[in-house]
Chains A and B, each alone.
Chain A
Amino acid sequence: AQKVTQAQTEISVVEKEDVTLDCVYETRDTTYYLFWYKQPPSGELVFLIRRNSFDEQNEISGRYSWNFQKSTSSFNFTITASQVVDSAVYFCALSEAYTNAGKSTFGDGTTLTVKP
């Protein structure tokens, strides 16, 4: 069965610090998709990034970067020089292409608080 673990329930940092949110997944499929979503205090869910299992390239988007490592089944998210506006709940999610096609599994989320 597919599973996503976000071991860090809550993280608190001071503005301008770098922070890494961990995501570890389990799947038996060879083709799968990983996602990160952000839920700010206003409550909406916002898509951040998608990765398929065949693309292990790391990605950088401004202050955000993602490290996908199939060898450790991890898809970690780093925010560089954090800002107060980064305070949110962040979810990692997994979708399988075959075994559980259609099912989407989310981690429990990591609540990030960035203090000024």
Chain B
Amino acid sequence: EAQVTQNPRYLITVTGKKLTVTCSQNMNHEYMSWYRQDPGLGLRQIYYSMNVEVTDKGDVPEGYKVSRKEKRNFPLILESPSPNQTSLYFCASSFGLLNNEQFFGPGTRLTVL
């Protein structure tokens, strides 16, 4: 089944404790992206990647890191999480460079205390 998977789905952590949210897709998509969703703010793009070893900042990259060492994986790293990073995070992938629709993962709900 074609899908985007994210792990973990739920995470409660404390300020400053490094964490990684994994994202993997099995559709051989070149493009992958991370978004955060906050009430009333829609989806805001954090980072995106057009292909392996190519990443770039979205609109809200502060406090996040990403890497794209393999085509299928695009982990999101929070080196020192803070409470303002409490949010719902979505990973997405797309064939080509955004001229096609994005396929979204199920979301990761992160709470930073």
Enumerate chain A interface residues (CB-CB to B < 8 A): 6, 9, 33, 35, 37, 43-45, 47, 50, 52, 91, 93, 95, 97, 101-109
Contacts and interface: CB of A to CB of B under 8 A. Distances in A.
Interface in B38-80: 40-45, 48, 50, 56, 58-59
A102 B42 contact: no
B104 A44 contact: yes
A107 B42 contact: yes
Interface of B: 31, 33, 35, 40-45, 48, 50, 56, 58-59, 88, 90, 92, 97-104, 106-107
Given A43-B107, A44-B104, A44-B107, A102 B98 contact: yes
Contacts of A47: 101-103
Contacts of A44: 104, 106-107
A105 B104 contact: no
A36 B59 CA distance: 20
Nearest to A43: B107
A107 B41 CA distance: 8
Nearest to A36: B101
A104 B50 contact: no
A38 B43 CA distance: 12
Contacts of A103: 45, 48, 58-59
Given A44-B104, A44-B107, A47-B102, A102 B43 contact: no
